[in-house]
Amino acid sequence: MTKIILLIRHAENDVMYRRLAGRLPGVHLNRRGQQQALALARMLLGMPVQALYSSPLERAVETAEPLARALGLRIEMRPGLNEVDFGRWQGRSYKQLQRTQLWQVLQATPSRVRFPEGEALSDAQQRVVAELEDLAVEGMIACVTHADVIRLALLHYLNMALDDLHRLAIAPASLSAILVGERGPQVLFFNRTPDLEWPFFPSQGVNSGASPSRS
């Protein structure tokens, strides 16, 4: 039995690159993000997606909506696809976070990080992998979620260590695909964008040493 899981990062919003949105409500796609979501829907038009799942946060749902219309599917909210719980970090600017000792630990050894009053990255990874394995069915499903959630899932399926978190870049409105078959899981591709644009520049992304992934 072959299962394909499509992992889609939500599209762009105005909070990205300035503050850690986390699970804050009311973060919506900006105009560019809306265009990215439409482009993603066009890219996947005609694909045999059997079910469409989304994180409950607005920016994920708004990314899923054009895809739902294109594929004739209903969006099912799944709390297991929610963003990492960043606890008291949520809503703070990256400039503030970069001055904390925990930020330095996060850059060096993510496996040791538990966010204040929030999740440990190891717990978030277990949550997400369990959710994906619960959702996966024979055929293809699509899950709209968040950059760090996707990176944590990919690390698991690539058999990479949690401390390799920063080696994977996940752009807004990007697509990653995992195949689960008789030989076990394979990552078919990751971080594919509809327009093939270069997603990160030194001032705005994980390559600048900034993590979490500018959610």
Residues with Cβ < 8 Å from 151, sequence gap 6 or more?
A: 165, 168, 170, 213
The one catalytic residue among 10, 65, 131, 156? 10
Structure tokens at 27: 């973060």
Q: Is 10 a catalytic residue?
A: yes
Q: Are strands 3-9 and 175-181 parallel, antiparallel or unpaired?
A: antiparallel
| Gyration radius (Cα) of the chain, Å | 16
Q: Is 119 a catalytic residue?
A: no
Q: How far apart are CA 182 and CA 211, in angstroms?
A: 35
- If you search the block for the tokens 């992304």, which residue do you land on? 205
CB atoms within 10 A of CB 161: 12
Residue 75 in contact with residue 64, Cβ under 8 Å? yes
The one catalytic residue among 62, 65, 83, 131? 83
Residue 51 in contact with residue 140, Cβ under 8 Å? no
Dihedral in degrees, nearest 10, Cα atoms 37, 38, 43, 49: 70
The candidate with the shortest Cα–Cα distance to 33, out of 73, 5, 64, 75, is 64
Catalytic positions, written as ranges: 10, 83
